[in-house]
Structure 1
Amino acid sequence: MVARLWAWWKQRQLYWMDYPLRQGMVWAGRYRIEQYIGEGSYGQAYRCTDQQTGSTVLLKRSKPSKREVGQRLLRRESDVMQALRHPQIPSWLGEVVHRRESALVMAFIEGEDLERSMTEQGRTYTQWQALRIVRELLQPIGHLHAAGFVHRDVRIPNVVVCGERIYLIDYGLACRIGEEPQAEGATGISKEQEPIGFADGWEAVKQRMRAPETTSDLHGLGHLFLFLMYAGYEPDEGREELSWEQELTLDTNVKSFIRGLLDGRWQTAMACEQALSHLLQDEEDDG
């Protein structure tokens, strides 16, 4: 009984430590909190108004409960973003300190992420629409790799559509290529969010995506494509779950390309993009 009460009390402490900043609060005398956007494994994100410029920015603070680990990961994310200059990647704007607590400031991307578009609006995609999204994402991924980093979290919540432009956001798990793995906490994917259609299980997929290698992001792209395809998939009631290759109706050459992403056929985003461009060109010619 005492052990349960102690565990409950510790959990309540963590809850209050990580309670979101209140709307209207001004961080570091400059950034007014307008909206709490959400949180990941170690950080919290807020839409803010920069009172010096009047612009809308995103402020990311580490969870107080994560202490030194959270601050270290926030610094790493800041270092990664400072090295990147790409129109499909949010711009790094700086780091600020408020009462001995640091936060990362970056450009706020207006738009809607793919996950919300699918779950709240019921958006579905054809195989060719999904492949064009993959092609767009290869641009920021290639830039990231050329700078010496890997994203390690290429998933639908981290892809934002703003007009005709597609952004890759959230570099909280990004690291240098080949960097030794360190303790980073939970990935933020609950059991209910696990996708269907993967014979090896989502845990194996997640571990593959977290490897500090360029092929990890391409692997993530393959599963992102499958997520988009499963948005419009309705399984037969009572039928045994099969592999994605059996469940989804895809062209043979499309299946081959996605299998290549998942199996690490290409080592670079450029080589992958060349293969995809040929595939899309063939589709346009046939159309």
Structure 2
Amino acid sequence: MALKLLKKLLFDRPLKNGVILNHQYKIEECLGMGGYGLVYLCTDILTQTPYVLKQLRPTKAKKEKEKVRFQQEIKLLNSIHHPQIPGFIDEFIIDGQAYYVMQFIEGENIEELLFFRKQPFTELMALQLISQLLEIIEYLHDRLIFHSDIRTPNIIINDGRLCLIDFGLAKQLTPEEMEEIKVRKQDDFFDLGETLLFLLYSQYKGKKKKNGTWLEELTLTKEVTLLLKRLLGIDEEYQHTASIREDLNRAIQSIT
């Protein structure tokens, strides 16, 4: 375990700021390190446009399975064309090391807004944001693409406009893969419900009970409660995004 960690520290060190890749992309800063990739803010020195650059971790680049996974992520992103998902820009290999470039989305992620800035979201604001997120999920699921990592740090808000990032765990399935489709669909639906719950708790001022549940702590309309219970699998699970959209619209109408 210690040796594995040491290897990561030695070989997976981020690129230095100022390094120029492919004679075009200047590294500005490392934004983060995930399970198998490093993510940077970079600038296209030809156009002065900011982009996000992702690098397959050097320790992973030696494994064929990880290289294939990275290429699948590139192929997937290249097939997605949605205004609220960062667009694919470029890909290249330098000395056996794979990289790809995508659009940079300005704004703050929901995790920063909720847990660091302590920004409150009204019930209506929360539902409207979830409506935007559902629109993205509808687009993806119509193409049998499942994100599988819809979490607060992967949802960016800029002037009320929501964007979904980080497709490292996403997968596009075939119609024949029915069992995996069912599992991944429910995972995305559960994540949607959990995100809504986080947003609704931003308004909660009471004292959390030791073994209290959100049903006891939050004062919600019956329509919002129904929506949450089905998204979280407490009641009958949703099978399609269309049913979620219907209940979400009813929930919005119940508080407007």
Normalising by the residue count of structure 1, what TM-score does the alignment of the two structures yield? 0.79
Question: Which residue, 74, 94, 117 being the options, matches 1:78?
Answer: 74
- 2:247 partner letter: A
Contact kept? 1:151, 1:175, Cα under 8 Å: yes
Distance across 1 between alignment mates of 2:157 and 2:66: 28
Distance 2:207 2:75 in 1: 48
Displacement of 1:66 in angstroms is 2.3
- Runs of 5+ consecutive residues of structure 2 not aligned to the other structure: none
Number of residue pairs matched?
Answer: 249
Q: CA deviation at 1:231?
A: 3.5
Structure 1 residue 54, shift from structure 2 partner: 2.1
Contact 1:57/1:106 (8 A) holds in 2:
yes
For 1:9 and 1:153, locate their aligned partners in 2 and report how far apart those are by CA, in whole Å. Answer: 29
**Aligned-pair CA distance for 1:212:** 4.8
* Segments ≥4 residues shifted beyond 6 Å: 178-181
- Contact 1:74–1:104, Cα closer than 8 Å, also in 2: no
Match of 2:246 in 1: 274
Within 5 Å, which residues of 2 pair with 1:76-225?
A: 76-177=72-173, 212-225=183-196
Q: Could you tell me the percent identity over the aligned residues?
A: 31
Q: Which of 34, 51, 55 is the matching residue for 1:61?
A: 55
The higher relative CO (CA closer than 8 Å, separation ≥ 6) is in 1
- Asked if the contact 2:223–2:247 (Cα under 8 Å) also holds between the matched residues in 1, the reply is no
8 Å Cα contact 1:113-1:156 kept in structure 2: yes
Q: Which amino acid aligns with 1:225?
A: L
Q: Which consecutive residues of structure 1, in runs of 5 or more, have no partner in the other structure?
A: 1-6, 182-209
Letter in 2 for 1:170: D
d(CA) in 2 for partners of 1:31, 1:180: 40
Which residue type is aligned with residue 104 of structure 1? Y
Partner SS state of residue 213, structure 1 = helix
Partner SS for 1:29: coil
Provide closer, same or farther for how the CA distance between residues 15 and 235 of structure 1 changes in structure 2, counting only shifts above 3 A: farther
User: What TM-score do you get using the length of structure 2 for normalisation?
Assistant: 0.88
Structure 1 distance, partners of 2:183, 2:27, is 34
Deviation of 1:109 after TM superposition, in Å, equals: 0.4
Secondary structure at the residue paired with 1:95? strand
Conserved? CA contact 2:223–2:250, under 8 Å: no
- Residue 228 (structure 2) pairs with residue 265 (structure 1): no
- Pick aligned residue for 1:30 from 4, 24, 36: 24
Q: Does 1:236 align with 2:207?
A: yes
Kindly provide the amino acid, as one letter, of the partner of residue 13 in structure 1: K
Which piece of structure 1 moves more, 82-91 or 116-125? 116-125
- The 2-side partners of 1:113 and 1:74 are apart by 24
